[in-house]
Amino acid sequence: MRIGELARRTGVSPRLLRYYEEQGLLTSHRVGAGHRRYDDDAPAVVSHIRTLLAAGLPTSVIREVLPCVEGPGPELEHCAAGILRDQLRTLDDKISTLQHARSALADLLADTASRRPADANA
């Protein structure tokens, strides 16, 4: 199928489909005047990519995980477990860092609110 048809079937812009291809997530074949043609399974691959992106995975990790994807779900084979565990640990660390930063900011705001400026007319 051509890129326009793939875009219509998946709801993903042609520009984004080309980006997925540049990142090694999606493959096409050049035919005729250099037009891209995608295999029949391309809509499922795009769906998998979108699901993995929604899970917060960067494209470099998705490239590693895609060979482990099965079915329309997608369901991941055991080969993805280690990579996903590492990504979850990284995400947990980021959440912890953000929670600490939020607490510090809330404390600063509370301290600022408790110090009212002196009345200018006094």
pLDDT digits (tens, 9 = 90+) for 45-96: 999 999 999 999 999 999 999 998 887 777 788 888 899 999 999 999 999 9
Q: What CATH number is given for 3-114 in this structure?
A: 1.10.1660.10
**pLDDT at residue 76, as a whole number:** 82
Question: Is the pLDDT at 16 greater than 90, yes or no?
Answer: yes
Side chain identity at 117, as an amino acid letter?
A: P
**pLDDT at residue 34, as a whole number:** 81
Residue 120 has which token pair?
A: 């200018």
Residue 60 sits at the vertex; the CA angle it makes with 55 and 62, to the nearest 5 degrees, is 45
Question: Is the pLDDT at 122 greater than 60, yes or no?
Answer: no
**pLDDT at residue 118, as a whole number:** 60
With 0.85 as the threshold, say if the pTM is over it: no
pLDDT in tens, 25-39: 999 998 888 888 999
Residues 6+ apart with CB under 8 A from 2: 35, 36, 37, 38
Residue with tokens 């998998």: 48
**pLDDT at residue 87, as a whole number:** 93
What gap in Å lies between CA 24 and CA 18, rounded to an integer? 10
The domain limits of the chain are 3-114
Residue 99 has which token pair?
A: 């929670």
**pLDDT at residue 119, as a whole number:** 56
Contact of 63 with 19, CB cutoff 8 Å: no
What gap in Å lies between CA 50 and CA 116, rounded to an integer? 49
